[in-house]
Structure 1
C-alpha cells in the first residue's frame, strides 16, 4: 500500500497539462495575437536601421525571409504545447531536469519582464501624448504605472481575456497602421524623399549583402525568445483530437506564425523605415509628433497604446508569469507570477536604460536560440514527439537525472550560447545548430545511456503521445491507477508521484 505524501511542488495547478476543453484560442484569435505582438519599438528599429544602407524593397525582402524562417522554428516548437498541452518551463524539465529547468527559464523570464518594461514605457509615452492633446496632461511616469497595472490585470484574468483584447485591438491596429504609413509617406514626399528608393548611406557589393543578412537575422533573433517558449501559448490553441497529420494538427499555429506574423512584421518594418526616411527617427511616436497634430495625432498614438498592450500580455507577461510560477511552486499561482513580471520589468527602469537595454535583450535572444535547438533535438530527434508526461511532475521520476539537473542540456546550452556570441551576425542559426547538435550527441551516446528515458526505450504512441491519440494528460488519473500498473506488471520506471 503506497503511503500518502505531500503534493509535489512540481504540480502547481497553473502548470498542469491543458486538455481539450481548456484550449480556447482559435486560429483567427492566434493570428490576431500576432498582429498585436509584432508592433513594438524594436520592430520599427530594424526597419529604420535597414534603410540606412539598403533601399526599402531589399529591407522588405530580407524581413520576409527572416520572419518566415523564424516562423518555421516557432511552429515546430509550438507542437509541444499542441500535442501535450505543456508549457515551456514544464517541458524544459526533460532536456534540463526538474531543477535545471529553472536556470535557462529564468533567463527567458527576466528577458520577457524587461521587454514588458520597455514596451510599457513606449506605450506610456504614446498615452501621455494622447492625454496631453485632450486634457493638457503631461506626466509619462504616471501613465507608465497606470498602463502597467491595466496590462497586468488583463493578463491575470487568463488567456481568454488576452485573446478577447487581441480580437478587439487587431482590426484597429491594422486600420490605423495603414493610416500611419500614409501620414509618414506624405511627410517623406514633402522632404523630396522617395520611400522606395531612398537610403541614407547606400551600401554596395559585399557591404550590401552583409546589411541584407543583418536584417534577416535581426528579425530571427528578435523572435528567438518566443520560439523557445511558444508552448506556453500554443497549449491553449484549439486542435483536433486523433489527427496524425502534423500540418492539420498544427494549422492554428502555422497560419499565425507563417502568415499573420510575417505579413504584420513586414508592414511594421516598413513603418519604421518610412518614419526614419521622413524625420530620421524610427520611433513612430516621435515621428508622428513631428508630422501630425490634433485628433489625427491622438488616433495614431492610440494604435501604439493598443499594440503595446496586445504585445505585452501575450508575448511577455504570460511567458514570464508561467516561468515564475514554475520556480515558485504550487504556492505561487499564475497571478503572482504576472505581478512579479511587472515588478521586474519596472525595477530595471527601462526609461533610463533604454539605449542600452535593447542590445542586451537582443543578445539574450541569441543565447536563447541554443535552447530552441535543444528543444528541437530533444522533442523531435530523440523522443520523436513522445513524452512521459506524468514523470515531468514527479520529484523522483526519470527527469530528476543527477540531483534534478540534466548535465547534457546545460553543457549544450552553454556551448551553443558561447558560439552565438562569437558569431553575432548569424547568432540564431549558430546557437540553434550548435546547441541542438551538442545536445543530441551528448544525450544519445552518453547521458541517456546512463539515465534511461521510458519514451525512448519503449516508443509507444498509446503511452506517450497526447492529442494525436486522443489523450488529455490527467495527473489525477495517473496517480489513482499507479498501484494497478505495478500490480499488473506494466512498465513503471518511476517511484514517487
Structure 2
C-alpha cells in the first residue's frame, strides 16, 4: 500500500480557519502603509508633473487609489469568507490545471517588482558605500542585495523583516523632510511645486494625461487586487455576519483609507522631486538634498524599506505561486530562487524608465482576471463555493482536462481589448473580461460542467464564515492501494 500525493494540496494552500486569523483592522492598515511606502510610486508623481500641475496629479492618484481599493475589497471577501488563497480559488474560473497560467503571470509581475525595488535598494546601498569608502558599483550591490533578501525569505528570518518594517514610518518622516527641502530648492529656481508643469497640456490632452495618472495608480496595485485573498484570509472577521460591509471592515479600512492616503503622499514626493531636480529617482533626489551622515542614514532607510516591501508584497507571493505550480517536489525555497532569477532577467534598471506604460499594460492584463474573479464569485456563484471540490483532482473544477475554457477565452478577450485602450486599460479589461465570463460561464460552460453550488445554492452547504463554518480539508485525502493487478482509490474528503 502507498499514499499518492495530491498535487492540489499542501499545508500552505488549505483554508485558514477563524482561530488562525491574526490580522486586525489596524494591522491590515499598517500593512498597507508598509507596502505603499515603496519608492517606485515616486515615478507616478514625477511622470505626472511633466504634463499636469501637482494638484491634478494628486487628485488622479486619489481617484485611482480609491477605485483599485474598491476592487481589492471585492476580491478580498474570497479570503475572508472562505479562507482561500488566490491560486486555490482560481481553480474555479480557470480549472485545476488552468489556474497555473494566470497565477504565473501574477508571479512574474511580483518578480518584476522585486527586481525594481531591489534596484532602488541597490542604488541606495551603493550611495552609502560610496559615501563611506568611495566604492561605486551599483550592479554588484544589486546582486548582493537580491541574494540577501532571497536568503532572508527562504530561511524565514523574521527578525530582520520586523526591523525592516520600522523603515516604513521612518520613510514617511524622511519624505516630509524631502518635501520641505526640495520645495525650497524648487523655489530658488523659480518653480512653484503646486503650479509648475514641465510641458503643460490643456483640453483633451490634459484629460488623457489625467486618465493616465488614474490608471497608472490602478495598474500599480492591479497585482494585489487579483491575489489579495492570499492576505485577506488572515484578516479577523466576525462569524455569522451577513452584512458584507461589517464582515469586510478590516479590508475596507485598509484598502479605502490607508492605501489612498499613503499612495497620494508618496506620489506627492515624487512630483516635488521632479519639480526640484528634474529627476523622480528618490536616491538621486536625496543626494541633491542632503549630504554626510544624514544622507547615509536616509539611504539606509531606503534600503530597509525596499527590503520590507519586497518580502511581503513580492517575494512571498511569487514564491508561493511558483511552488504551487511546481507541485510538492518544488518547495517554497525553490520558488524563492525562481522569483529572484525572474526578477533579475527582466533587467529592472531598464524597466523603471518605462514604468508608466508597463503599469498600464500589466494593469489591463490583470484587470481581466479581477473581472473574471468578481464575475465568478459574486454574479455566478453568489459567494457560495464548493470548497471541498477545489482540492479534488476529479471534482467539479477539473472541467475539460483541468481547463475552464470560459475563463481563458474571457481573459484573452478582456486583456486583448484593454491593449487597444491603454488610457482606460484597467476599466476596459475588468468590464470586458468579467462580462464575457458571465455570459460564457452561465449560458455555456456551466451547462456542460455542472456546479453543485449552482444546482443547489444552499447557504449552509457552500458559505463559510457567514454561517460560522471553517472549511475542514484533510491534507491526505486519497490513498492508493496497489495489489498484483488492481488499483483502489479511496477518497476520504467529506462535505461539511
The answer as to whether partners of 2:360 and 2:426 remain within 8 angstroms in 1 is no
TM-score, normalised on structure 1?
0.91
Residue equivalent to 2:125 = 127
The answer as to whether partners of 1:112 and 1:317 remain within 8 angstroms in 2 is yes
Instruction: Describe the SS at the equivalent of 2:50.
Output: helix
Gaps (5+ residues) in structure 2?
479-489
Residue equivalent to 2:60 = 62
Instruction: Describe the SS at the equivalent of 2:348.
Output: coil
Instruction: Describe the SS at the equivalent of 2:49.
Output: helix
> Cα deviation per residue 1:251-289 (whole Å; 9 max; x = unaligned)?
221111111110010011111100110011111111221
Residue equivalent to 1:484 = none
Distance (Å, rounded) in 1 between the aligned partners of 2:158 and 2:393: 31
Residue equivalent to 1:188 = 186
Distance (Å, rounded) in 2 between the aligned partners of 1:395 and 1:10: 7
Distance (Å, rounded) in 2 between the aligned partners of 1:153 and 1:248: 39
Distance (Å, rounded) in 2 between the aligned partners of 1:440 and 1:178: 47
The answer as to whether partners of 2:44 and 2:356 remain within 8 angstroms in 1 is no
- CA 244–154 in structure 1, closer or farther in 2 if over 3 Å, else same: farther
TM-score, normalised on structure 2?
0.91
Distance (Å, rounded) in 2 between the aligned partners of 1:158 and 1:441: 44
Residue equivalent to 1:429 = 427
Deviates more, 1:203-212 or 1:47-56: 203-212
Residue equivalent to 1:466 = 464
- CA 4–394 in structure 1, closer or farther in 2 if over 3 Å, else same: farther
- CA 162–447 in structure 1, closer or farther in 2 if over 3 Å, else same: farther
Match 1:274 to one of 267, 272, 281: 272
Distance (Å, rounded) in 1 between the aligned partners of 2:19 and 2:402: 32
> Cα deviation per residue 1:371-418 (whole Å; 9 max; x = unaligned)?
000000000111111111111111100000001000000000000001
Tell me whether 1:237 sits opposite 2:235 in the alignment: yes
1:92-491 superposed matches below 5 A = 92-156=90-154, 164-165=162-163, 167-352=165-350, 354-355=352-353, 359-360=357-358, 362-476=360-474
- CA 86–260 in structure 1, closer or farther in 2 if over 3 Å, else same: same
Shift of 1:141: 2.7
Gaps (5+ residues) in structure 1?
481-493
The answer as to whether partners of 1:173 and 1:306 remain within 8 angstroms in 2 is no
Shift of 1:466: 1.5
Shift of 1:243: 2.2
Q: CA RMSD in A?
A: 2.3
The answer as to whether partners of 2:384 and 2:453 remain within 8 angstroms in 1 is yes
> Cα deviation per residue 1:24-67 (whole Å; 9 max; x = unaligned)?
32323322222232233442111111111211111111111110
> Cα deviation per residue 1:217-249 (whole Å; 9 max; x = unaligned)?
111122111111111111122222222222222
Distance (Å, rounded) in 2 between the aligned partners of 1:246 and 1:199: 43
